[in-house]
Amino acid sequence: MSRIRELDLTSSGSCSENPLTTLLDVLKKQDTEVRVKSKPEILPEGLARLLGLRYGYEVVVLEAGGGLVEYLFKRK
């Protein structure tokens, strides 16, 4: 059974930390499933789908609203 990796991009740990760089590092590891929580202005749906396509993931919007969005990146 595969473990779902969870990533929270709603806040960065430091001023120099880029949330998209963090996401790219995780996607490059090719985990089976990655659940990503973000703000739409940090990771819009179109960008999430584009990154998913680039790294071999299907992207599903699990939840959206209240200024937050949650995606599931599932390995194709």
Q: Structure tokens of 7?
A: 């990533």
Mean pLDDT of 47-71: 96
**At 23, phi and psi to the nearest 5?**
-60, -45
C-alpha dist (Å) from residue 23 to 1, 11, 43, 46? 23, 13, 10, 15
What is the total count of domains within the chain? 1
The domain in which residue 52 lies consists of 4-75
CATH of the domain at 42: 3.30.110
C-alpha dist (Å) from residue 46 to 1, 13, 27? 30, 25, 16
In contact, 71 and 60? CB cutoff 8 Å: yes
pTM above 0.95, yes or no: no
- The DSSP letter of residue 62 is E
Confidence band (pLDDT; 50, 70, 90) for 12? Answer: low
